[in-house]
Amino acid sequence: MRFIVVVGSTRTAAIDGISAAGADPELMRHTPAADAEIVEYGRPISALKMPVSPTGCPTPAVVTRAVHELVRPDVLVVDAGLETPTVAPTTVVGTEPGADIRDSEPVPQANDVFETARELGRNLPDDELIIGESIPGGTTTALGVLAALGEPYGVSSSLPENPLELKRSVVSTALSESGLERSDAAGEPTLAVEKMGDPVLAAVSGLATGTVEAGGSVTLAGGTQMVAAGALLRHFGIQTPLELATTSFVATDETSDIESAARALDFDLTVTNPEFDRSTHPAMEGYSRGEAKEGVGMGGALLLAAREGIPMDEIRAQSERRYDSLVDNNGS
Amino acid sequence: MRFIVVVGSTRTAAIDGISAAGADPELMRHTPAADAEIVEYGRPISALKMPVSPTGCPTPAVVTRAVHELVRPDVLVVDAGLETPTVAPTTVVGTEPGADIRDSEPVPQANDVFETARELGRNLPDDELIIGESIPGGTTTALGVLAALGEPYGVSSSLPENPLELKRSVVSTALSESGLERSDAAGEPTLAVEKMGDPVLAAVSGLATGTVEAGGSVTLAGGTQMVAAGALLRHFGIQTPLELATTSFVATDETSDIESAARALDFDLTVTNPEFDRSTHPAMEGYSRGEAKEGVGMGGALLLAAREGIPMDEIRAQSERRYDSLVDNNGS
């Protein structure tokens, strides 16, 4: 088993009010690079500060890293196209961030990224991948891809109040700028990513495709972005079982309807509740307010911890320790 | 503690008869990329075949990986400038391979690579680094750097018969093409690397410098290339204790005089004998004939295993298993 985090950027994240994956728009640009460093080193290095939401909710990378410290899985960060460089070790499958999906073709490199990631997935020595992601703005591009594929599911949000009307309006503009009607890319996953997606979706679907082709199994670790990745796989013609591992924060989000998506797309859904409401620690408070919810493979990390028999209170304690060391590191 | 392998290339390796770090010159170009993949994944991916010497002695990456499978340290591959790409996850500190040292300035990027690696060393969360390397032709560039610094030590070889006369002749030509006399770069380590070295020496000395500056400790894991790296540190003015961990194959090589170098340069030398002569397995036969000797941090891996109390017969057994799986993978 290998735990993979695919990182990348889309300029869609710069649309005002669309994402909480950073304290402000400038810091948000660094979030995926910093998440990669937290996963690999336990703390951000190139970006210096731990990514937090505008109200201070820490990145789910803290929880994923805490689980990794307890379980020590093999880890691989895949760079699908970062806007700011990272000093985390990465395997690069794409070098360009995605443009704003309201451009006519925001991800012209989608097929190259998909094929490079597919080749990597075919060749990795592992019989199982757990694949998470970090890309601010990713739920909006996920909504765009779902629309292009003609899949009717909604998406979740890193914000407590999902700006779903804004996302729908962005997707609507993006479809028309791309010359697409809803469902026009059904059965054409590469087109859907080129016109409406982001580099991370291209890389996740490529990695998963290659792994399945080599006889391995895949757990998509995340929320509605991973629903979009899984939908891309189904539209690519992949019919093998796919696991989807997410958190209770996504599953109870009414705007996401992840359970019906999983049923319709034939994903085996695992929802894990980390019971953060049992803690009043600042690492977890934001989640109880409905912030962040998922990301950086958090749901997959919680699944992995459960498999290894690690009690949830140990994960919470380790997450608190990791957060505290990061806050000290932030100098705050 | 983090186990680092710095990989890179120098066109010096293409000089006929200078290196055994590949079955033939074309395959040798892929050796550092393949070594990185063996360390990270247990097998080569992009290069497909396990690097072997012309007579079939496997890369020391097999032994380093075997130890890692038993100890599971944090691992980081640093790319200082590879000639062929790798799909191992890497942190990139340089993007250009070094030219043949008989060029007037084979490593013009030496200072950039050094400073990028120094910054990385300063910022890594670890209080200790064990640093190994993989760069075919690296003992010749090491001899070049030692000459430029005015250090009188010889270097070892991946060949059973060290082509020391050839190396000396190459270094002599390189000095004159660079407009340098022996010792002209004493106290000027960057100049020594620019004119006579390779990108890996720049990265290793930069990482070590940054780590020491941040209060951490460094074990240079390798043979005479690491003597050159350590000499660069001394000429940079670093006076803190430095560990040098190598194998008995280097220590008993009369052409290397690593023990007197360690004394003179004030390195705390650890020599580990993996007792490969107790085995007739093809993974180890070549070492008993005097091939390979060191590389990919093998001496540091053996030191790490000893620290963790892992018996040498277990390391041999794991190395044999790893080799057997790679030979199957090679389709031979």
Give residue-wise pLDDT tens across range B43-68: 999 867 899 999 999 999 999 999 99
Site from B50, B72, B87, B120 to mutate, A interface, most A CB atoms within 10 angstroms: B87
- B117 CB neighbours in chain A (<8 A) are none
Mean pLDDT of A32-42: 98
Site from B41, B69, B79 to mutate, A interface, most A CB atoms within 10 angstroms: B41
Classify residue A8 by its DSSP letter.
E
What pTM was estimated for this model as a whole?
0.97
Mean pLDDT of A247-257: 93
Per the prediction, chain B carries an average pLDDT of 95
Tell me how far apart the alpha carbons of residues B229 and B201 are, in angstroms, rounded to a whole number: 6
Mean pLDDT of B79-88: 97
Q: How far is CA B238 from CA B80, B184, B204, B227, in A?
A: 22, 19, 14, 14
Tell me how far apart the alpha carbons of residues B291 and B19 are, in angstroms, rounded to a whole number: 11
Residue A122 Cα, gap to closest chain B Cα (Å): 10
The angle formed by the CA atoms of residues B253, B259 and B261, to the nearest 5 degrees, is: 110
Range list of H helices, chain A? 25-28, 31-41, 61-71, 110-123, 138-149, 164-177, 189-196, 199-213, 224-236, 248-251, 258-265, 282-288, 298-307, 312-329
State the complex-level ipTM: 0.95
Tens digit of each residue's pLDDT (9 = 90 or more) over B103-119: 999 999 999 999 999 99
Q: Name the band, by pLDDT with cuts 50, 70 and 90, for residue A330.
A: low
Q: How many alpha carbons lie under 13 Å from residue B123 in its C-beta half-sphere? A: 22
Tell me how far apart the alpha carbons of residues A294 and A221 are, in angstroms, rounded to a whole number: 9
Kind and range of the H or E run holding B262:
helix B258-265
Burial (0-12, 13-18, 19+ Cβ within 10 Å), B45: buried
Q: Which residue from B minimizes the CA distance to A72?
A: B72
Size of interface A-B (CB pairs under 8 A): 35
Tens digit of each residue's pLDDT (9 = 90 or more) over A221-245: 999 999 999 999 999 999 999 999 9
Q: Name the band, by pLDDT with cuts 50, 70 and 90, for residue B256.
A: confident
What was the pLDDT predicted at A328?
A: 74
What was the pLDDT predicted at A329?
A: 61
| φ, ψ dihedrals at B182, nearest 5° | -50, 135
| φ, ψ dihedrals at B213, nearest 5° | -60, -30
- B87 CB neighbours in chain A (<8 A) are 91, 120, 123
Residue B113 Cα, gap to closest chain A Cα (Å): 14
Burial (0-12, 13-18, 19+ Cβ within 10 Å), B96: middle
| SS3 state of residue B182 | coil
Q: How far is CA B269 from CA B61, B64, B220, B254, B265, in A?
A: 21, 19, 10, 16, 11
Mean pLDDT of A254-265: 94
Site from A3, A37, A39, A41 to mutate, B interface, most B CB atoms within 10 angstroms: A41
| SS3 state of residue B309 | coil
Residue A278 Cα, gap to closest chain B Cα (Å): 31
Contact assessment for residue A1 and residue A129, using Cβ atoms and an 8 Å cutoff: yes
- A41 CB neighbours in chain B (<8 A) are 124-125
Strands (E), chain B: 2-8, 74-81, 90-92, 128-134, 217-221, 242-247, 267-272
Nearest-10 Cα torsion for A264, A265, A267, A272? -60
What token pair was written down for A21? 């994956």
User: B90 vs A89: CB contact, 8 Å cut-off?
Assistant: yes
**Which residue of A42, A45, A125 is in closest CB contact with B43?**
A125
User: B89 vs A77: CB contact, 8 Å cut-off?
Assistant: yes
Residue A91 Cα, gap to closest chain B Cα (Å): 4
Per the prediction, chain A carries an average pLDDT of 95
- pLDDT of B330 over the 70 cut: no
- pLDDT of B83 over the 50 cut: yes
- pLDDT of B180 over the 90 cut: yes
Site from B45, B78, B329 to mutate, A interface, most A CB atoms within 10 angstroms: B45
Length of chain B: 332
What b/e string do you get for A40-55 counting C-beta neighbours within 10 Å, with b at 16 or more? bbbbbbbbebbbbbee
What token pair was written down for B107? 């490593």
How many C-beta atoms surround the C-beta of residue A127 within 10 A? 12
What token pair was written down for A63? 């929880």
Percent residues over pLDDT 70 in chain B: 98
Q: At what angle do helices B298-307 and B61-71 cross, to 10 degrees?
A: 20
- pLDDT of A121 over the 50 cut: yes
- pLDDT of B1 over the 50 cut: yes
User: B87 vs A45: CB contact, 8 Å cut-off?
Assistant: no
Classify residue B98 by its DSSP letter.
B
User: A89 vs B91: CB contact, 8 Å cut-off?
Assistant: yes
Mean pLDDT of B31-42: 98
User: A90 vs B87: CB contact, 8 Å cut-off?
Assistant: no
Q: Which residue from A minimizes the CA distance to B77?
A: A89
Task: Return the minimum-mean-pLDDT range out of A173-177, B7-11, B161-165.
Answer: B161-165
Residue matched to tokens 């994923």: A64
What was the pLDDT predicted at A46?
A: 86
Mean pLDDT of A247-266: 94
Contact assessment for residue A297 and residue A132, using Cβ atoms and an 8 Å cutoff: yes
- A120 CB neighbours in chain B (<8 A) are 45, 87
Chain A contacts to B (CB-CB under 8 A): 41-43, 45, 72, 76-77, 87-91, 120, 123-125
- pLDDT of B332 over the 50 cut: no
Residue matched to tokens 């200082």: B80
What was the pLDDT predicted at A332?
A: 38
**Which residue of A72, A87, A91 is in closest CB contact with B88?**
A91
What was the pLDDT predicted at B192?
A: 98
- pLDDT of B19 over the 70 cut: yes
Tens digit of each residue's pLDDT (9 = 90 or more) over A274-328: 999 999 898 899 998 899 999 999 999 999 999 999 999 999 999 999 999 998 7
What was the pLDDT predicted at B331?
A: 44
